[in-house]
Amino acid sequence: MRTTPIRLADGRELIYFDLPDDPPRQEHDARELPEPPPASELRFDELRGEWVAVAAHRQERTFQPPGDRCPLCPSTPDFHSEIPGPYRVVTFENRFPSFSERTAGSRTMPGIRPGEGRAEVVCFTPDHDRSFAGLSPSDVRLVLDVWAARTEALSAFPGVQHVFPFENRGAEIGVTLSHPHGQIYGYPFVPPHVAQILDSLEFDPGAFAYRLTREQADERVVAADEHWTAFVPRSARWPFEVHFYPHRQIPDLPALTDAERDAFAPLYLDVLHRFDALFDVAMPYIAGWFQAPVHQARDTFRLHLQLFTTRRAPGKLKYLAGSESAMGAFINDIRPEQAAQMLRDALPRTGG
């Protein structure tokens, strides 16, 4: 994999990721852009023990533009997008970031501090009408290498405590740009769900190994290969939720071997195709990599991917109403064993 970093017109970093034999790049952003916004503000909730980011500038972010004005497509003579030229995979600093390094002038006081960190966009393909499920295994391998490289880079940023690569797909999830893309957050704190896992590991350092062993022997396995097992967890919160565990105990994406990276692509694509085949519709989903925090639990946390959808039936979505949104107490409408069987029975279809 070859990387070519450039600076966009407003000073934000963009990185092209190419194969070694691809021609060299000489791209230039010809736009005139205003200065990037300052960092968000973090405010501490004393009762929950959690940080909340206030990023009011995100109200101005681009929302569902026409296909020929998509800021994630390669620039053309008629339209200058965020990406000045063709690409395979590209990452760049979000123009409307939840976290950033631009903390000059930010205030710091008890319970309030700058949202120092990083928020990057990852474009998986230049094809606007494609999806992640439509990538080839070699395409997925390149994306996986990019996730690993950016995890390593963001982990070295001042103030970053946790790195989270993720993809939101579908208007039902709230996606504002339909081009196939994801994001990587470099949080300046350990996010609540990971903090809960750390608490569990303090009590039982072998919890991840126990879960994998239990699930491998159960009816909730959806797919598996030599290096990975994909299963619906016994306590799934979402109608269709699949976790992907590597068979080795490793803390993060950079620790994956070449064999593990190669094996992940076909397994993940298979499950994504099953999601789309389940109701014969493009399935909305969230897919996120859970990694060890930068400075904690490196020997006990286990890298894994969580994939879930809000769709519970044709034409029906799972909404987070009173119990889930207010109390954080999930009520699942589908038995996890039934969900796993439905996914195993779904006839995968390629493309899209």
Return the active site residues: 181
In this structure, are strands 240-246 and 118-123 parallel, antiparallel, or unpaired? Answer: unpaired
Nearest Cα to Cα of residue 155 among 112, 188, 201: 188
Are 62 and 53 a contacting pair, CB within 8 Å?
no
Per-residue tokens: 189: 């704190």
Per-residue tokens: 283: 């399935």
The helix or strand, by DSSP H or E, that contains position 221, with its residue range, turns out to be strand 221-224
Nearest Cα to Cα of residue 111 among 52, 195, 191, 39: 52
Residue appearing with tokens 């994406």:
253
Nearest Cα to Cα of residue 75 among 4, 11, 27, 35: 27
For residue 172, CA distances in Å to 169, 176, 317, 318 come to 8, 10, 8, 10
- What distance in Å separates the CA atoms of residue 292 and residue 205, rounded to the nearest whole number? 13
| Amino acid letter, 211 | R
The helix or strand, by DSSP H or E, that contains position 312, with its residue range, turns out to be strand 311-313
Are 118 and 157 a contacting pair, CB within 8 Å?
yes
Are 87 and 3 a contacting pair, CB within 8 Å?
no
- What distance in Å separates the CA atoms of residue 241 and residue 263, rounded to the nearest whole number? 20
Are 175 and 70 a contacting pair, CB within 8 Å?
no
Are 241 and 288 a contacting pair, CB within 8 Å?
no
